[in-house]
Structure 1
Amino acid sequence: MSKTMATLAVNLRPGAASDRIDGWDVDASGRRVLNIRVRARPVDGEANAGLIRFLARSLDLPKSAVTLMRGGQSRLKMIAVEGLGDDTLAERLERLIAVG
C-alpha cells in the first residue's frame, strides 16, 4: 500500500512580521505557487524550518509529514505533504486563505 502524498510549490518570504499565507500566485511557467511569509530569517536554514513548522501546524499535521523536497537556498520551494492527497491539501489551504 502506498502512502498518500501531495506536493506544493511555495514562494517563501522570510523575515516577515508574522507567519501567514498570502494566497495563490502563478510562476513564470504557469504553475500555481502558494505565497507564504514566515518570521524566521533566512539564516542557517531557519526560514526553511519555520516554513515546515508553520505548514504542519496550519494543516494540523505532524512536522514529520511536511518535507522540503527542493529549493533549500531559493525562495521557490517544493514541499511534500504526507498523508494528504492533492485535492485534500488544496481544500485545506483554500479554507486557511479564506479565514485569513
Structure 2
Amino acid sequence: MNKNFIKLVKALVIILGIGWLLGQLIRYFLRSKLAKFAQQVNEAAREQQQSQNRNSTPKNGNVHVDHIPENFKAKRSKEIKGGDYVDYEEIKE
C-alpha cells in the first residue's frame, strides 16, 4: 500500500505540475495575442481618425455646412425687417 500511495502522490504532483505549466503557457500566449490585437485595433482607429481629419478640414476659403435648421431661415426673415430708420440723440452729461 505504501508503494501505491507514493505512485499516486507522484501522479498527482505530475498532473498538477503539467496543469500549472499549461495554465502559465496559455496565459502567456493569450496575453501576447490580446496585446497584439489591441495594438491592431488602436492602429486602425488612429488611421481612421487621421483620414477623417484630413477629409473634414476645409481648404482655405471653403466652408462646408452640414446642416441648417429649417426654422432658422423663417426666424431670421421675421426678425429683420430692414429699412427702418431710428432717429436718436446723443446725451452728454
The structure with more radius of gyration: 2
Greater fraction of residues in helix: 2
Give the TM-score, by structure 1 length. 0.18
Larger RCO: 1 or 2 (CA < 8 Å, sep 6+): 1
* TM-score normalized with structure 2 length: 0.19
Point out the structure with the larger strand share: 1
